[in-house]
Amino acid sequence: MIWLAFAILTAFFESLKDVSSKHSLKNLDVYIVAWVANIFAVIFLIPLLLLAGIPKIEPQFWIALLIGGSLNVVSFTLYIRALQVADLSLTVPLVTLTPLFLLVTSPLIVHENPTFTDAIGIFLIVVGSYVLNLRERKNGYFAPLRALFRNQGSRFMLMVAFIWSITSNFDKVGVVHSSPLLWSTALYSYLAVGMFPIALFNSRHKFHQIFPNLKPLMVIGFFHAIAITFQMIAVTYTLVTQVIAVKRMSALISVLFGHFLFHERGLRERLFGATIMVLGVIVMTLF
C-alpha cells in the first residue's frame, strides 16, 4: 500500500498549494501566479532529478508530454482563475469529479476499466456536489445543480476536472516511459513555457509585481513540486483512478482552510458535501 501513502501526501501538499495560491491572488495578477509558480516548481525539481539520475526516454514520452502538457496549460489557467473568482471551499471540492470522468477516459487511454463499486463512488460524488450548494435549495430542488453552472468559479473548476481526467492518464504514460521525477520536471517546464505567452498577452503591464512577491511565488512553486512528485511516484504502483481519487481528499482540507483562513461562509454545507464526495472517492479506491 505504499502508493496510498504517496497519494495522501499528494493530497496534503495539493491543498497547501491551493491555500498559498488563493492567498497570493489577493495581491498578484492571476496569470503571473500561473506562470511564475511553475518556473519555481521547475527550479525545485531539477536538483532532485539530477540526484536521482536521468533515465532512458522512450518515444511515447514525447507524445504524452505534447498532449498532456498542452491540456495542462489550459487547465492550470482555468484553475487559478477559479481560485481567484470564487470561494476555495466551493471550487476545490469540484475537482473530486475527476474520478467520475476518469471512468470514461482511463479505459480509452490506458485501458484501465472501472468496477461496480466505482458506480457507487460516482453516486456519492454527484450527491456531494449537490450538497455543496445546498444553501441554494430555497430557490428550488434543482437550484444547487444550477448553481454549479451559474457560478463562474464552479464552471471553471468543472472544466478543470474534465481536462484532468484526460491529462492524468497521459501522466501515467509519461511516467512509465521515463521516471516520476523526469516527467514532473518536463511537465512543469512545458507549463512554464506555455504560460509565458498567456501572461505576456494578458499581464505584461503587471510584470513589476514579480520581484516584490518572490517569496509567496516560491512557496506555491515548492508545494507544486512536492505534490506532483508524490503523485507521479504513486501512479507507478497502482491505477491512475485510485491515485487521483485519494488525491481529491485535498478537498476536505481546502474546505477547512477556506473557512478558518479566508472566513468563507457555508462551512456546514460545504464540509458535508466535500465529505460525501471524498467518501465516494474512498469507496472507489478501497474496493
Split at pLDDT 50, 70, 90, the class of 144 is very low
Provide the domain count of the chain. Answer: 1
Residue 12 has pLDDT above 90, yes or no: no
Most confident of 15-24, 41-50, 78-87: 41-50
In tens, the pLDDT along 25-48 reads 778 888 898 899 899 999 999 998
pLDDT score, position 115: 76
Amino acid at the residue 251: A
Average pLDDT for residues 174-201, to the nearest whole number?
91
In tens, the pLDDT along 234-249 reads 888 877 667 766 776 6
Q: The domain containing residue 27 runs over which residues? A: 2-286
How many residues does the structure list for the chain? 287
Cβ contacts of 209 within 8 Å, gap of 6 or more: 27, 28, 29, 32
Cβ contacts of 5 within 8 Å, gap of 6 or more: none
Radius of gyration of the chain (CA): 18
pLDDT score, position 248: 66
In tens, the pLDDT along 111-138 reads 767 677 877 877 787 677 667 656 655 5
Residue 90 has pLDDT above 70, yes or no: no
Cβ proximity of 264 and 105 under 8 Å: no
- Region of residue 239 (phi > 0: left; psi between -120 and 50: alpha; otherwise: beta): beta
| Nearest by Cα to 168 from 231, 227, 225, 217 | 231
pTM: 0.76
Residue 209 has pLDDT above 70, yes or no: yes
> 21-30, 191-200, 233-242: lowest mean pLDDT where?
233-242
